[in-house]
A and B are shown apart, each in its own frame.
Chain A
Amino acid sequence: MHKIESNNVNFYYGENHALRDISLSMKENTVTALIGPSGCGKSTYLRLLNRMNDLIDGTKMTGSIVIDGADIYEKNTNVDNLRKNVGMVFQKPNPFPKTIFENVAYGLRVNGITDKNEIEERVVTTIEQVALWDEVKDKLKKSAFELSGGQQQRLCIARALAIKPSILLMDEPTSALDPISTSKIEELIYELKNKYTIVIVTHNMQQAGRVSDTTAFFYMGELIEYDKTKTIFTKPAIKQTEDYITGRFG
């Protein structure tokens, strides 16, 4: 039984056919890397998994995506609950203009948790979980904008984890960060793997190789190859994949 299963997914931005017949499944508690050149549809695919593309006018989707046995594009799907279960971390750190504490507490509050002690406990545990506690414990009441980019991104991960999702989507989470912050986040992904199913879009081949169990290579809206990361990086079945990984194009 797969955690995430997509069958013949097609996606259109108006006339633009952005994803063609994507069928892709991910096991529970694994890290899947989506790689491919810019504009190949990997971010679009990622954003389908928590229905983030619903926000864009004039889009159309066919096929099905099944998470935990339920089609998330069914009419009676509760999108808010889906997004609670499928957390997301964005390309650029995007904390709210609130305090560090309130950033993490936000997801709890909007999901109806009002008990002060519970909120406080969950905020502290998740900040500890992303290894940010020692750095921010004295300034929880300060604005999140006072943190460095890498700290902000870890705060955003904590914010996503606070509401206890089972899936975590990461859209190029380190592309705006320096190498040290990047390695911290990669370590974090490695640890989170035990508890969460992670899908990560990345342009960084080494990163895909380091953190993921399986890798999917997208090109021009199509899924070219999907296999164990080791296989993809050592003996890919398709020439295009090899060319991309070795940097011959893209």
Chain B
Amino acid sequence: MGTHSACLPDVILLKIKNTLLKTNFKQIKEKVIESILMLSSAATSITVVLIVFFLFIEGAGVFTKKPIDKGFLLAVNESNPVGKLEPSQIKDIFDQKIINWSELGGKDEPIVLFRTGDITDYYTEEELGENFVNFPDKINELIAKTPGIIAFFSDKYVNKEFKGKEVDINKISVYKFLSGEEWFPTAEPVAQMGVKPLIYGTLWVSLGAILLALPIALAAAIYLSEIAKKRTRNLLKPLIELLAGIPSVVYGFFGLVVIVPLIQSVFNLPVGETALAGSVVLAIMALPTIITISEDAMRNTPRAMKEASLALGASHWQTIYKVVIPYSASGITAGAILGIGRAIGETMAVLMVTGNAAVIPHSFLAPIRTIPATIAAELGEAPNGGLHYEALFALGCILFIITFGINMLVELVTNRNSHKKH
């Protein structure tokens, strides 16, 4: 009897202990899971911040350097009052568009161009000596005796008696970078970093894409949400969504083989690689985004609204354009903006079909070049850490700012939408 009664509390005690252990274990497990979840989101956020930080740090470098190759300099005669030049002016000088110093605020003196290789026009090989040992003296002499000279040469030829004046080249300002109309990042003697043609190219292609895609996408969304039978919709919607899953290089290939020749023959152009080709390819790529989002928005139109309209004798079509479309307007806008967002950031397909000419476009039938295509095409040939390299990062920053703005816009539009529904 005694052992029996002593046994009972033991059993209970054990049970309590077990439960306690269990709860502890459960709590620990939950804590572990929670911290894993937290770590994942923290890691993601930090990565995003790091990428943006990296992008802007690298991109800012382009505004801190002189746009001339390292180890080279531009020099003029000591008496020349012009001491500071814009990169674009230097380009014009070497392209012989500016031929007199007076155009730059200097004396009335014709400009004499001098590149290292031109030395033999002035001196014989004997005068220059073996292995050009006399080169520094001669160049010094040449600059000193030619008042209109502008010389581009390596700074290893500058010696102690150098009497010329080194021309100060202005750094590329943010304004010049954005408004410059020439993109020659590898030009000699100074690189031209004007991204206006690239920004325009990007915007043109995207705008064209949205103009082509929006009507088709809207029509498809209306059909799917309001007109198609359930079975048709269940068949079509996955198909359209599949369009979003095709790799962009395949779209580019399709564009290159089908759309480019088509545009070339239809408009009778010398080349079919035009802004229009890019727009068509991008329009096809943006379709699934716009269709899916606007269709969802339309299907969210409360049944009560549609019934109210129909009960007043409105036809199906009147109900669609007087009730469904206004009600889903913000959803449609969001879809269109996201579609543009995709078009602006798209690289491969555009690179393949737009011809990549960095000029400000004047027609959809001219070749253009977009920001992402420029980065993709040129990053491989830009020396790491150089000015060109940093300029490409600055382009990346511009792209980031544009797409960030677009995402903010979507947020704004959809927020207004949810506010309206309350």
Q: Which A residues lie at the B interface, using CB under 8 A?
A: 50, 52, 55, 57, 80-81, 83-84, 87-88, 90, 92, 94-97, 106-107, 110-111, 156, 159-160, 163
Task: Using CB atoms, name the residue of chain A closest to B313.
Answer: A84
Q: Find out whether the CB atom of B310 lies under 8 angstroms from the CB atom of A83.
A: yes
Give the residue of A55, A97, A159 whose beta carbon is less than 8 angstroms from that of B312.
Answer: A159
Chain A residues within an 8 Å CB radius of B312:
83-84, 87, 106-107, 110-111, 159-160, 163
Q: Find out whether the CB atom of B304 lies under 8 angstroms from the CB atom of A92.
A: yes
Q: Find out whether the CB atom of B323 lies under 8 angstroms from the CB atom of A83.
A: no
Q: For the complex, give the distance between the alpha carbons of A95 and B323 in Å.
A: 11
Chain A residues within an 8 Å CB radius of B310:
52, 55, 83
Cβ-based interface call for B1 (8 A): no
Chain B residues within an 8 Å CB radius of A80:
313-315
Min CB distance B155 to A, Å, is 71
Cβ-based interface call for B311 (8 A): yes
Min CB distance B148 to A, Å, is 74
Q: For the complex, give the distance between the alpha carbons of A136 and B23 in Å.
A: 62
Q: Find out whether the CB atom of B315 lies under 8 angstroms from the CB atom of A96.
A: no
> 3 closest A-B pairs (Cβ-Cβ)?
A84-B313, A107-B312, A94-B304
Q: Find out whether the CB atom of B230 lies under 8 angstroms from the CB atom of A57.
A: yes
Cβ-based interface call for B79 (8 A): no
Q: For the complex, give the distance between the alpha carbons of A88 and B309 in Å.
A: 10
Q: Find out whether the CB atom of A90 lies under 8 angstroms from the CB atom of B326.
A: no
Cβ-based interface call for B34 (8 A): no
Min CB distance A160 to B, Å, is 7
A-B contact sample (20 more), CB < 8 A, given A90-B307, A97-B326, A107-B313? A52-B311, A55-B310, A57-B230, A80-B315, A83-B310, A84-B313, A87-B311, A88-B311, A90-B304, A94-B307, A94-B308, A96-B309, A96-B323, A106-B314, A110-B309, A110-B312, A110-B315, A110-B318, A111-B313, A111-B314
Chain A residues within an 8 Å CB radius of B318:
110
Chain B residues within an 8 Å CB radius of A52:
307, 310-311
Q: Contact string, B305-347, partner A, CB cutoff 8 A, digits 1/0?
A: 1111111111100100011001100000000000000000000
28 A-B interface contacts by CB (under 8 A) = A52-B311, A55-B307, A80-B313, A80-B314, A80-B315, A83-B310, A83-B313, A84-B312, A87-B311, A88-B307, A88-B311, A90-B304, A90-B311, A96-B323, A97-B305, A97-B327, A106-B314, A107-B312, A107-B313, A110-B312, A110-B314, A111-B314, A156-B308, A159-B312, A160-B311, A160-B312, A163-B312, A163-B313
Q: Find out whether the CB atom of A94 lies under 8 angstroms from the CB atom of B302.
A: yes
Task: Using CB atoms, name the residue of chain B closest to A95.
Answer: B308
Interface size on B, residues (CB 8 A): 21
Q: Find out whether the CB atom of A96 lies under 8 angstroms from the CB atom of B420.
A: no
The residue among B230, B313, B420 with the most chain A CB atoms within 10 A of its own CB is: B313
Number of A-B residue pairs, CB cutoff 8 Å, is 66
Q: For the complex, give the distance between the alpha carbons of A87 and B309 in Å.
A: 11
Given contacts A94-B302, A110-B318, contact A81 B308 (CB under 8 A): no
Q: For the complex, give the distance between the alpha carbons of A85 and B21 in Å.
A: 73
Min CB distance B331 to A, Å, is 14
Q: For the complex, give the distance between the alpha carbons of A16 and B305 in Å.
A: 26
Q: For the complex, give the distance between the alpha carbons of A88 and B314 in Å.
A: 13
Min CB distance B116 to A, Å, is 73
Q: For the complex, give the distance between the alpha carbons of A111 and B322 in Å.
A: 13
Q: For the complex, give the distance between the alpha carbons of A52 and B302 in Å.
A: 15
Task: Using CB atoms, name the residue of chain B closest to A51.
Answer: B310
Min CB distance A84 to B, Å, is 3
Q: For the complex, give the distance between the alpha carbons of A84 and B313 in Å.
A: 5
Within 8 A of A (CB), among B232-273: none
Task: Using CB atoms, name the residue of chain A closest to B304.
Answer: A94
Q: Find out whether the CB atom of A110 lies under 8 angstroms from the CB atom of B322.
A: yes
Q: Find out whether the CB atom of A50 lies under 8 angstroms from the CB atom of B308.
A: no
Q: For the complex, give the distance between the alpha carbons of A57 and B232 in Å.
A: 13
Chain B residues within an 8 Å CB radius of A160:
311-312
Given contacts A94-B302, A97-B327, contact A106 B309 (CB under 8 A): yes
Chain A residues within an 8 Å CB radius of B307:
52, 55, 88, 90, 94
Chain B residues within an 8 Å CB radius of A106:
309, 312, 314, 322
Q: For the complex, give the distance between the alpha carbons of A52 and B326 in Å.
A: 22
Q: For the complex, give the distance between the alpha carbons of A84 and B309 in Å.
A: 11
Chain A residues within an 8 Å CB radius of B323:
96
Min CB distance B382 to A, Å, is 53
Chain B residues within an 8 Å CB radius of A107:
312-314
The residue among A81, A83, A110 with the most chain B CB atoms within 10 A of its own CB is: A110
Q: For the complex, give the distance between the alpha carbons of A81 and B327 in Å.
A: 25
Q: For the complex, give the distance between the alpha carbons of A92 and B307 in Å.
A: 12
Task: Using CB atoms, name the residue of chain A closest to B422.
Answer: A145
